[in-house]
Amino acid sequence: MDRRKNMLIGLVVGIAIVAASVYATGFSKRLLTPFFGSSTAYQTSESATAPALAGGNWINSEPLELKNLRGRVVLIEFWTFGCINCRNTLPFIKGWHDRYREKGLTVIGVHSPEFDEERNVEHLRREIGSLGISYPVVTDNDYQTWNAYNVEAWPTSFLLDKQGRIRWRHVGEGGYDEAERLIQQLLAEKET
């Protein structure tokens, strides 16, 4: 009986040490962010101009350049078709595209694959069709755009204002009401 008790005490102490280490290093936030989401809004004065999109294969559009989209609000969604969290965000992304595209919103999906199968452009085209995605999607198989935006997890969304500045970043699922309010706010802003 004492042996079991000692093993249980050791197990509890070990779990407590690991949990404290994870919490103290901030690793728990990185572990949980894709599941619970994390948003960052930027004021105009602290907003950086968004990096250019790296070259890739474009689906549903001719190649787009952010500098040519000035005057429009842009939502950039980093995703991959094998990610369940990404699939869970799609109804919202597609809804915003449908509701606001004629009012000045451009949605761009940046497909940064997690697995080898997702690198195949024909597989991606098939998935885009089956998922009902009609907005532009660009492949990012070499992670150039992913790295330029310092993305760390799928899905990650960015909202750019009409001047091409990053005004909002969200990692993971959720934040849908906040995103829609900001889309409406950015669409209403005057160009400067």
CATH of the domain at 73: 3.40.30.10
Structure tokens at 120: 């195949």
Three-state secondary-structure class, residue 74: strand
Between CA 87 and CA 152 the distance in angstroms is 17
Same domain, 45 and 19: no
Same domain, 23 and 99: no
The Cα-based distances of 124 to 59, 119, 120, 127 in angstroms read 9, 8, 6, 5
pLDDT value of residue 23: 62
Same domain, 119 and 65: yes
- Asked if the model's pLDDT at residue 13 lies above 90, the reply is no
Span 71-75, average pLDDT: 98
Same domain, 85 and 28: no
- Asked if the model's pLDDT at residue 33 lies above 80, the reply is no
- Asked if the model's pLDDT at residue 112 lies above 70, the reply is yes
Between CA 81 and CA 69 the distance in angstroms is 26
**Domains in the chain, number:** 2
- Asked if the model's pLDDT at residue 111 lies above 90, the reply is yes
Same domain, 16 and 45: no
User: For 142-180, what is each residue's pLDDT tens digit?
Assistant: 999 999 999 999 999 999 999 999 999 999 999 999 999
Domain residues for 59? 37-188
Start-to-end CA distance of the chain, whole Å, equals: 75
- Asked if the model's pLDDT at residue 140 lies above 70, the reply is yes
Same domain, 94 and 53: yes
Let me know: does 107 contact 96? Beta carbons within 8 Å: yes
Three-state secondary-structure class, residue 53: coil
Average per-residue pLDDT in the chain? 89
Let me know: does 165 contact 47? Beta carbons within 8 Å: yes
pLDDT value of residue 39: 82
